[in-house]
Amino acid sequence: MGSYSFQAYDPPEVLNVEQAAQLLQIEPAMVIELSEAGQLPGRKLGSAWRFSRAALVAWLASPGVP
């Protein structure tokens, strides 16, 4: 039998707009729109938005998500 090796993928804990959009399966423009409206948990650092993966997953699982 052959041997197999694999490397576990640890997704990043802090996401940019594109990564958040991919996680939520929405367009990046919608991520920005929801963030600017205060509906999506994120922080604007300078001109760039950053998101906690855990906070986005919790937001998505919460009742009343638009």
**Digit-coded pLDDT (tens) for 25-63:** 999 999 999 999 999 999 999 999 999 999 999 999 998
- Residues constituting the chain: 66
Domains of the chain: 14-61 (1.10.10)
Q: Which of the 8 DSSP states describes residue 62?
A: S
Mean pLDDT of 3-10: 78
Angle (deg, nearest 10), helices 17-24 and 28-36: 100
What's the Cα-to-Cα distance from 13 to each of 24, 52, 62, rounded to whole Å? 14, 6, 19
Contact 19/57 with Cβ under 8 angstroms?
Answer: no
pLDDT at 9: 76
The residue with greater pLDDT, 8 or 54, is 54
Report residue 22's pLDDT band, with 50, 70 and 90 as the boundaries: very high
